[in-house]
Amino acid sequence: MRSDGRRPDELRPISVVRNYLKYAEGSVFIEAGNNRIVCAISIEDRVPQFLRNTGQGWITAEYAMLPRATTTRNIRDAVKGQIGGRTHEIQRLIGRALRSVVNLEKLGERTILVDCDVIQADGGTRTLATTGAFMALVDALWNLLDQGMLAERGIVRDYLAAVSVGIVNGEMLLDLNFEEDSVAQVDMNVVMTGSGKLVEVQGTAEKEPFSRETLNALLDLAQRGIQEILNLERKLLERGLP
C-alpha cells in the first residue's frame, strides 16, 4: 500500500470541471489527488510565419506553475526573465501531443493556444495537463463548429491521454505523486491515443539502467492507466469528437 493508500496499479481519483473559465473558447479545471490544474484554449485567426498561405492551422502550448503551487515558493519566469528548461520541455510535450491527434488542415489558418496553469502540484503535472488540455480542446472545437466557424467534423482523429509510471523501491507504480517521483529509480511519462498508439515516451533511469523487459512492463502499466482515463474522457465528452 502506498503513502496515499493506493494500490501500485491505481490512479489517483480524477475530477474534471468543464467550461471552468467564462471567456476561454474551451477550458477545464482538472484534479488528480493533490494536483490542481487549469487548462484554457484560445483561438486566433493567424498562424506562424512558416504556415502562412498553406491553409493549415497550428497548436502551441504554454505551461506555468504558480509560485505557491509547491511546498516552497517558485520564482515566476517573468521575474527571472526567461523560461526554464523544464517549462519549455513541458510546453513542447503538450503541443506535440495535441497536434498528433488533430487534423491541422481542417482548422484553416488558425492557431490554437493552450494555457496550462498549475495552481497546486503533487507530481505528474505534465501528464495531467496534457489530459486536461485535450478535453478543453475538444470543447473549444465544438464551440467553433456550433458557431459555424468550422465547416465539418473530423478535426480530432482520436482521443488522447497521458500518465506517469515508475519504479520506487523496486516496485512498479502507476501515476506517481511527488513523494514517489522524488525517489524513483525509474521515472517515465507516457502519452497515448485512444487506439493505443504511442505519442510520447519519456523514460529515465535515475540510478541503475533498466532492461527492455522492464520498459515493456512499464508501458503495459501506463496503458492500463491511460485506458481508465480515456474511459473517463469518453464519458465526460458526451458529444464525442468534433
Binding annotation for phosphate:
86, 124-126
Q: Is 55 left (phi over 0), alpha (psi -120 to 50) or beta?
A: left
- Residue 236 and residue 204: Cα distance in Å, rounded? 33
Residue (of 225, 146, 234) closest to 192 by Cα position: 225
- Cell match 527492455: residue? 212
Annotation: binding site: 86, 124-126
Contact 43, 144 (CB under 8 A): yes
Contact 134, 233 (CB under 8 A): yes
Angle, in degrees to the nearest 10, between helices 85-99 and 125-146:
40
- Residue 193 and residue 141: Cα distance in Å, rounded? 18
- Residue 126 and residue 118: Cα distance in Å, rounded? 9
- Cell match 491515443: residue? 193
Structure letter (DSSP) for residue 55: T
